Amino acid sequence: MLFMTRTPARIGSSVAAAAALLLGDSTAASAAADAHFVPEATKIRWNGTTATVTFLEVDVNLDANATTISARVSAAVDAVCTNEESTLEIHRTASSLRTSDYLISFDGTVPGPATVPLRVQGLEVSGYTCAVEHISMTVELEDFWTGATLTHRA
């Protein structure tokens, strides 16, 4: 289970930023509308237990010095397991979500690695030798304050 903690001052500035966006403050809406993730700067690495997502958000112009970004990583894994003449084809999926605060650089960029714990269960079968044949990864990035989103597949 993921828990986030914030200081009261941070909550106040976050609530104010959200209220400005929701109530139609044109300055806040305009600043948020320009922010976006750079697809070419997005990469996913996975070691079987942890996914590391490299990303870059640009044109971030908020009153706060930080923003909140979530990264939902999904893995789809195909494996073949054999035991003498018996063969099993296995397809398993898993996903995990991590939300963190990231500092906004003076140039309006938010670089980040997001580290997301992710394990795919059921890829080992007792008495069988299993080999992974294909792995497909997807990350969905969302900045809570600017509204920027990106879906990247690898």
| CA 117 to each of CA 47, 74, 97, 101: distance values in angstroms, whole numbers, following the listed order | 10, 11, 8, 17
Contacts of 147 (CB under 8 A, 6+ apart): 21, 32, 33, 35
Structural domain contains residue 3: no
Structural domain contains residue 47: yes
Closest CA to 111 of 67, 73, 50: 67
Structural domain contains residue 80: yes
- Is the pLDDT score of 23 beyond 80? no
- Reduce the DSSP state of residue 27 to 3 states and report it: helix
- Is the pLDDT score of 8 beyond 50? no
Residue-averaged pLDDT of the chain: 86
Question: How many domains, the chain?
Answer: 1
pLDDT number for residue 79: 97
- Is the pLDDT score of 21 beyond 70? no
3-state secondary structure 94-106: EEEEEEEEEECCC
Determine the structural domain holding residue 40 and report its residue range: 8-153
d(C-alpha 88, C-alpha 81), whole Å:
5
Question: pLDDT tens, 24-66?
Answer: 554 444 555 699 999 999 999 999 999 999 999 999 999 999 9
